A and B are shown apart, each in its own frame.
Chain A
Amino acid sequence: NAGVTQTPKFQVLKTGQSMTLQCAQDMNHNSMYWYRQDPGMGLRLIYYSASEGTTDKGEVPNGYNVSRLNKREFSLRLESAAPSQTSVYFCASSEWRAGGNYGYTFGSGTRLTVV
């Protein structure tokens, strides 16, 4: 059971370059999320998808786009990378079940540096 798989694990970009972070989950969860984590800022929600075919902005969406390709996959795209986007990016998925021990399952993260 792989859970949530993110690729790549590490990436260095030059300012202005574009890239897509990939995320896939095999737990049949409806909801998926992209967070970024910066020192002293905690995890901040970039975008989320409550179900296949829907996406919504989170707290810090500027400079990013997302695609919920199907139920399994949720990708994050940086169209024109900026040094302020240097961060650790986490993808997560969840499924709310009443009475269940609800929680997110996170991917292992992507460490992105923009120079």
Chain B
Amino acid sequence: RKEVEQDPGPFNVPEGATVAFNCTYSNSASQSFFWYRQDCRKEPKLLMSVYSSGNEDGRFTAQLNRASQYISLLIRDSKLSDSATYLCVVKLDFGNEKLTFGTGTRLTIIP
């Protein structure tokens, strides 16, 4: 089983719609969680951290469910510029800075 699993998509969503991605992780000892965004042929960039209480950054909302070991990302009022691959990322423990990346979910916003 992969440590971090995501639906690869693609998700093709009309502009203005709401879209949600889920991600599951296998190691219950995982401590920190993130969503990264990667544009085509570019490097990944941090989109947002995911906190236990859930957190929001503008049109983006991230949720964590430790009991079920999944993370979600909700994008509201989607824009053409949201088209990208979204990577679910997990950090195992406080003494180790290594991150484990999911394979990513590809999102295309359609005009």
Contacts and interface: CB of A to CB of B under 8 A. Distances in A.
Q: Is the A/B pair a real complex?
A: yes
Interface of A: 31, 33, 35, 40-43, 45, 48, 50, 58, 90, 94, 96, 101-104, 106-109
Contacts of B44: 43, 90, 104, 106
Nearest to A90: B43
A20 B14 CA distance: 44
Given A31-B97, A42-B101, A106 B45 contact: yes
Contacts of B46: 101, 103-104
A115 B8 CA distance: 29
Interface of B: 4, 8, 32, 34, 36, 42-46, 49, 87, 91, 94, 97-104
Nearest to B99: A104
A108 B45 CA distance: 10
For the complex of A and B, 10 pairs with smallest distance between CB atoms: A103-B46, A42-B103, A106-B43, A43-B101, A31-B97, A42-B101, A96-B97, A94-B97, A108-B43, A109-B43
Contacts of B32: 102
B98 A103 contact: no
Contacts of A31: 97
A42 B98 CA distance: 15
16 contacts: A31-B97, A33-B98, A42-B4, A42-B87, A43-B101, A45-B98, A50-B97, A58-B98, A90-B44, A101-B46, A102-B34, A102-B91, A103-B36, A103-B46, A106-B44, A106-B45
Contacts of B97: 31, 50, 94, 96
